[in-house]
Amino acid sequence: MNKLVFDIGATNIKFAVMTPEGDIVKRYSTPTPHDTLEHYLEALCVLAEPEKAGVDGVAVSTNGRMYPDGDTYRAYTSDFLIGVNLREALESRLHLPVTVENDGLAAALGEWWKGAGRGTKNMLGVVLGSGMGSGLILDGKPYRGSKRNAAMAFGLLSVAEPEKENYLASGISTAFPLVLYKVAAAKGLDPRTVTGPQVFEWAEAGDPVAAALLEQYYRSVAIPIFSSALLLDLDCIVLTGGLAAQKSLIEGVQRNLKSIAARALTVEGIDISALGITIDYQDFNVRLRAGELNLDANLYGALYHLQTGC
């Protein structure tokens, strides 16, 4: 039977009726309410109720994490969701089984099941949109960790200046709205009028401000990716999400990954081979892939989680 699948983002709720094989039969979208829990749940039910005939389950992908009990939610963008058992709240209204999955892991599962990660056993999916999320597949299974908090890209170190005791989390350095704000400020524009596609177009046309700020962004994305790939010896890293559809983004992150390897493994003024250290740079190659599902990755991952329980 078909399934109802939600991808709840900070801005919009994406909703689809999907077959068990992953075909999207219908899709809708509505703005995400941020005022009250009742309005939030009502928005989900308004989408779901007309499509319940011939459906036997509901899958949800959303930002935030579940507490270790696997049910109770802690949100990043809506305070009224903190402590809410989102699964039970939806089941009591829709009278269907519901599963809830973090959006980073859902996107990784989607790309692993139906996208660029097919055929791999060990994969990190990195989701690039307004912020950076991620999900980890180890030995052919999603890995959540003891606190269901594995692969929390939001908190990974991205930029560090130890001499200033300044450590910056990737969730801050990869917040794409900051790029838009900085570009707008440098050009004397209203930040609300500057869009992501515009910034990429300006950079590709040779605009020095847009190009420099995007390069900083690419580097901030590349640093936690480089460390994760080496720590876990992954088959590949898949970049997915809305921004990953930009070809120049994949190229920019790849360029910075190579630069990090070259710079991090050398000491200025010292020939480390004289210290008896030999480096095989092939060990530091990060296998990066462009996502194939991008904006739909979360829908596929939520569906996979509903059907398999993994």
Structure confidence by residue, pLDDT tens digits, 201-227: 999 999 999 999 999 999 999 999 999
**Residue 147 DSSP SS3:** coil
Residue 261, pLDDT score:
82
- Summarised one tens digit per residue, pLDDT across range 80-89 is 888 888 999 9
Half-sphere exposure (Cβ direction) of 136: Cα atoms closer than 13 Å? 18
Cα gap 153→150, rounded to integer Å: 9
Distance spanning both ends of the chain, measured CA to CA: 19
In degrees rounded to 5, what are phi and psi of residue 190?
A: -75, 120
Please compute Rg for the chain using Cα positions. 21
Q: How many residues are recorded in the chain?
A: 310
Domain ranges of the chain: 2-109+297-308, 119-292
Within 10 angstroms of residue 62's Cβ, the number of other Cβ atoms is 26
Quick: pLDDT tens for 158-187.
Answer: 776 656 667 778 878 888 999 999 999 999
What are the tens digits of pLDDT across the range 2-39?
999 999 988 899 999 999 999 999 999 999 999 999 99
CA distance 115 to 109: 9
In degrees, rounded to 5, the angle at the alpha carbon of residue 243 between the alpha carbons of residues 239 and 248 is 80
- 93 vs 247, residue with greater confidence: 93
Mean pLDDT of 284-301: 94
Residues 6+ apart with CB under 8 A from 277: none
Cβ–Cβ < 8 Å for 94, 87: no
Q: Give me the amino acid identity at 221.
A: V
Quick one: CATH architecture of 119-292? 2-Layer Sandwich (3.30)
Give the C-alpha separation, 72 to 175, whole Å: 26
149 or 246: which leads in pLDDT: 246
Asked if domains 2-109+297-308 and 119-292 share a fold, the reply is: yes
pLDDT for res 163? 61
**Helices vs strands, H then E, count in the chain:** 9, 14
Position 72 pLDDT exceeds 70: no
User: Residue 266's pLDDT is what?
Assistant: 72
166: exposed, middle or buried (Cβ count in 10 Å: 0-12, 13-18, 19+)? exposed
* Secondary structure (H, E, C), 84-127: CEHHHHHHHHHCCCEEEEEHHHHHHHHHHHHCCCCCCCCEEEEE
Given the candidates 3.40.50.1240, 3.40.50.510, 3.40.50.170, 3.30.420.40, the CATH classification of the domain at 2-109+297-308 is 3.30.420.40
